[in-house]
Structure 1
């Protein structure tokens, strides 16, 4: 007769209470093993496998009401939460599972993944080091550790670890792709391409790796590549993920050949798939902008003068994605006093926590506000690899949090990277983002988003004049030295000639524009929408006066 998991767990709890941890640990794992044949968990597992998350949740919730100590069920519930991107819930469940069964390695591995997905890479690395101490050659753990190292800028160690994993598991296309990503980041483009090509050779239908080649921006596909991508699209059993990546890659390949109509068709098809996966409600962005305008008034800031953390360290580069922010970052990071990092998630994380709390921001005390600024600096410290006094946070979406930034870090510098509305919006429409940026998958959505961004930035120009330095991309291209000198002056940095020869600066660049900013400024990207103009009426309508006024804004001067 098979062992009863409940009896095993009860005996394990008794042994733990008596201090017999080794015996308890063996029984805890035996209880989990005994759950394999449990009909309830088999039903929940089948629902998870088929994507029927509603059924899986109902079954698991019922089981945990009946038996809250069922570690296998707790772990499955954590997997369900992770599938729904409820990572905090998943983390709490996994910590509970490990509290009940500390030796349950799969739950510890899941915890590392959940921490990584929350951008808590240092914590993820600590968990992974514990796992690797017991199982040093586990390629799954090594692969995740390499990804976490890349997230915090430890690229040499990440590359070494990927190479170790691939030496043991050379037929893993996704690991070759991840290896290609980090090689791209450090500027080793030929090696990056070779890694991507190895992934394609192993799995020709892996859409994400075709898009990774396209996303180099400087790579040109040949006839054989286009035929291979089309054949993969025409094949059976292709997942939506592979399909949408192939559409975006084919769109880029055909655009480079001047074939606008089929290129736009592929872009539109890729966007349609992605829009189903990550629905976007423009009303939520409009409400966020309205709340920010109502809260952050001259009176609000005047009443809190002198509050916040006085550190001048951060330089925020924000605005729309694909508007020149990586170029501005590269220029500033070429200065001896400025360190480039990446698109940091910390300001949105702080804003989300404030928004979900019981105390509104208007009720925060001076100590509360200063603590938020200090927390931001502490959270971002892991990204700083040099002793340069200033560092860059170039998350574009921080435009929505300018008020919070100036409240908690009043001496931080802010740069608004702005590009022609059609150039910026269409560049977003043809860009597949690995995460976030759900507004980019519809022409009307991205146009309305751009208009709301302009509206809020104009508000802050009125409320805190001079707090934001605006760089107009087209002016930067036309008169590079004048604009760079003005940028440095606004950042209160002395002029350095290296900023004019930014493409010679060797540093890791972790965005889609990494290869473009390793070349001198050129005019190639000024009007990317023009060949596609016949299909852009929804975008133009959504932009409205913002389009006709550019580079000024409706009702004021930018």
Structure 2
């Protein structure tokens, strides 16, 4: 009963309460593998990777034939930058469940992250033949992303068949995204758009708020982070490291830019690191007893110094510490004022892309997060407008710290664009920027396969095939959209 309660609390993300229950179990029985597994998962969520490795190793010793603790341990090893240890764990998991596609899928994901695409593809193909498991939806989804199929040999039949076997909303949604991508690659734009619409409609059922509810929060950021606050920063601040934040909308090219920059010896990256919001902001909120952004009004030099040290400690955890340390979490744009107070030497690269191109890319890609703006064109337009308003404010109060970089120019005029960026950052341009695709540095975003290819502008205008359909969907009343979808049912072929 106590274990069931602990797992329920963990599922509800009530980490402190769950931790209390797991520790109570462990006090009663220090060999309780399930309790160790629970504590290890909590450590993972809190990004305490060293603790997670210790706890999960102990859990795996006591639960040697369970896959979940092994997969969690692999995540922990990746968290402490030990990919070889993660690979060893994943290969062991695959060996003890050789007829189960799930460990194959996790191993393939590891290979994808580190750019070994052929290995990943081969393992996914093996897993596909192992029967009808829930993970098959994700296996098919990943195989479709490789684009290694044609009109004669593809995954359409497997996807349609799987849909007849499940009523699980999320699995159906993943299949719909895969079908949309498949029909897009086969140049059937009508079917592609129908399936992407179905996928977004299903995912929107999982959302818990509306984008317009964020508007007061954005207005508070603007009012709290006024010119007076920004001007109060310690202008003589110097540091041995220059924090660089790549910000903007999702699907705007941040992963591509990051991989280009880390090809240069002066750069290293934390990836999409959330420690500003998860640790720094959380600390300031706790100290001031005020939520963000209201807590900014209570900042003093002592609080700023301690908050700065929290982020510096995060930087030190990187396997490589370079003069320029990148954080490419796009949503960090919400915290630019705070970051600038902590690091007056910080540089912000606002990567921009044609709105229609970004909207289409968001609409046609599966995001595991269930925010409304990831699964609705009209909701995304509201989110984009909020972003534009906030970026306009940041430009007005910290113009010298911001550089606007256009994705379309990055892929069509890379040398000129990157040279201008280098001048802003104060580094020398290098031809190595354009050899980014040769790297095996880990990439875990939706662009993990694309950035393993040489620079191309093929994706620049892809949205234009769907522009009319997108505009029609945005402008239709919601009730009309729902009625038409109900009348039409599933697209042809299901």
* TM tier relative to shorter chain: 0.7 to 0.9
Task: Give unmatched runs, 5+ long, in structure 2.
Answer: 477-494
8 Å contact kept, 2:33–2:63: no
Of the two structures, which has the highest relative contact order with CA contacts closer than 8 Å and spacing of 6 or more?
2
User: What is the CA-CA distance between 1:334 and the residue it aligns to?
Assistant: 0.7
Separation in 1, partners of 2:441, 2:141: 23
**Equivalent position SS for 2:270:** strand
User: What is the CA-CA distance between 1:353 and the residue it aligns to?
Assistant: 5.0
Alignment of 1:339-358 (within 5 A): 339-349=268-278, 350-352=280-282, 354-355=284-285, 358=289
Q: Tell me whether 1:435 sits opposite 2:365 in the alignment.
A: no
Q: Tell me whether 1:156 sits opposite 2:75 in the alignment.
A: no
Provide Cα deviations, 1:61-114, integer angstroms capped at 9, x if missing partner: xxxxxxxxxxx33x3222222222333432343234434543332111112123
Q: Which moved more, 1:112-121 or 1:158-167?
A: 112-121
Scaled by the length of structure 1, what TM-score is found?
A: 0.78
8 Å contact kept, 1:308–1:369: no
User: What is the CA-CA distance between 1:520 and the residue it aligns to?
Assistant: 2.4
User: What is the CA-CA distance between 1:367 and the residue it aligns to?
Assistant: 1.3
8 Å contact kept, 1:310–1:411: yes
User: What is the CA-CA distance between 1:273 and the residue it aligns to?
Assistant: 1.6
Separation in 1, partners of 2:102, 2:242: 37
Counterpart of 2:207 in structure 1 is 278
8 Å contact kept, 2:241–2:322: no
Q: For this pair of structures, how many residues does the alignment match?
A: 467
Counterpart of 2:49 in structure 1 is 121
Separation in 2, partners of 1:455, 1:174: 44
Q: Which moved more, 1:91-100 or 1:193-202?
A: 91-100
Counterpart of 2:312 in structure 1 is 377
Counterpart of 2:137 in structure 1 is 207
8 Å contact kept, 2:40–2:52: yes
User: What is the CA-CA distance between 1:438 and the residue it aligns to?
Assistant: 4.3
8 Å contact kept, 1:121–1:148: yes
Separation in 1, partners of 2:149, 2:48: 36
User: What is the CA-CA distance between 1:186 and the residue it aligns to?
Assistant: 1.1
Provide Cα deviations, 1:501-554, integer angstroms capped at 9, x if missing partner: 322334222211122222222221112222222322277669xxxxxxxxxxxx
Counterpart of 1:328 in structure 2 is 257
8 Å contact kept, 1:312–1:409: no
Counterpart of 2:452 in structure 1 is 518
8 Å contact kept, 1:446–1:539: no
8 Å contact kept, 1:307–1:407: no
Separation in 2, partners of 1:439, 1:307: 40
Task: Give unmatched runs, 5+ long, in structure 1.
Answer: 1-71, 543-558
Separation in 2, partners of 1:426, 1:116: 33
Alignment of 1:6-17 (within 5 A): none
Alignment of 1:165-204 (within 5 A): 165-204=93-132
**Equivalent position SS for 2:162:** helix
Q: Tell me whether 1:248 sits opposite 2:177 in the alignment.
A: yes
Q: Which moved more, 1:175-184 or 1:148-157?
A: 148-157
**Equivalent position SS for 1:109:** helix
Counterpart of 1:367 in structure 2 is 302
Relative distance call for 1:81 and 1:180 in structure 2 (3 A) is same
Q: Tell me whether 1:302 sits opposite 2:231 in the alignment.
A: yes
Relative distance call for 1:527 and 1:196 in structure 2 (3 A) is same
Separation in 1, partners of 2:167, 2:131: 12
Provide Cα deviations, 1:283-326, integer angstroms capped at 9, x if missing partner: 33222211110011110122343498845342211111110001
Alignment of 1:3-152 (within 5 A): 72-73=1-2, 75-132=3-60, 139-152=67-80
Counterpart of 1:12 in structure 2 is none
Separation in 1, partners of 2:237, 2:76: 31
Counterpart of 1:261 in structure 2 is 190
Provide Cα deviations, 1:166-196, integer angstroms capped at 9, x if missing partner: 1122123222111111101111101101122
Separation in 2, partners of 1:471, 1:88: 42
**Equivalent position SS for 2:442:** coil
Alignment of 1:526-545 (within 5 A): 526-537=460-471
User: CA-atom RMSD, angstroms?
Assistant: 2.4
1:500 is aligned, of 409, 420, 434, to: 434
Q: Which moved more, 1:188-197 or 1:494-503?
A: 494-503
Separation in 1, partners of 2:268, 2:277: 21
Relative distance call for 1:354 and 1:274 in structure 2 (3 A) is farther
Relative distance call for 1:174 and 1:310 in structure 2 (3 A) is same
Provide Cα deviations, 1:15-45, integer angstroms capped at 9, x if missing partner: xxxxxxxxxxxxxxxxxxxxxxxxxxxxxxx
Counterpart of 1:10 in structure 2 is none
Q: Which has the larger radius of gyration?
A: 1
Separation in 1, partners of 2:394, 2:63: 53
Scaled by the length of structure 2, what TM-score is found?
A: 0.88
Separation in 2, partners of 1:280, 1:309: 42
Separation in 2, partners of 1:354, 1:240: 39
Provide Cα deviations, 1:310-369, integer angstroms capped at 9, x if missing partner: 453422111111100011001100101111332112112133554566142311221111
Separation in 1, partners of 2:442, 2:348: 22
Counterpart of 1:239 in structure 2 is 168
Separation in 2, partners of 1:377, 1:207: 40
Relative distance call for 1:148 and 1:204 in structure 2 (3 A) is same
Counterpart of 2:394 in structure 1 is 460
**Equivalent position SS for 1:392:** strand
Separation in 2, partners of 1:165, 1:505: 27
8 Å contact kept, 1:308–1:366: no
8 Å contact kept, 1:323–1:417: yes
Separation in 2, partners of 1:232, 1:167: 26
